[in-house]
Copies of this chain bind each other. A is one copy, B any other.
């Protein structure tokens, strides 16, 4: 297992243990994690802190050249908002745990020059499948449905 995807999964599991939506993310610069986070809809009542957004926020204010040499790992295919943040800050590469339970804006990212790798990791799929089965209303709220 890629150690950075493992770290993103640990974030997702931490969110689950807190009663939240199990999606996690880390941002990696030159082989070092500089930001990590997980979905905060339940925990903080946040509608903007998806896992990826929480990782950006926890990484703090950074110069453009850091973002442009970083890789973002996320357990789930990034939605329009998170993909927009990836484009805003010029993240050149995104590694995605899975896109079977939710297909995000991968094509938009690729069309704008972002490298997008999808692992289809069983642990990531199972985290979302079991969560969606247990709390479909909460999941729908998180994706605006």
- Hey, which bits of chain A sit against chain B, CB under 8 A? 41, 45-49, 53, 56-57, 59-64, 67, 79-85, 87-90, 105, 140-141, 143-145
Contact = CB atoms under 8 A, between A and B. Distances in A.
Nearest to A143: B88
Scoring A59, A67, A83 by chain B CB atoms within 10 A of each residue's CB, the highest score goes to: A83
14 contacts: A47-B60, A47-B61, A47-B89, A48-B56, A61-B141, A67-B144, A79-B84, A79-B88, A81-B85, A81-B87, A81-B88, A84-B84, A84-B85, A90-B144
Contact of A46 (B45, B57, B80, B144): B57
Contacts of A49: 48
A56 B45 CA distance: 11
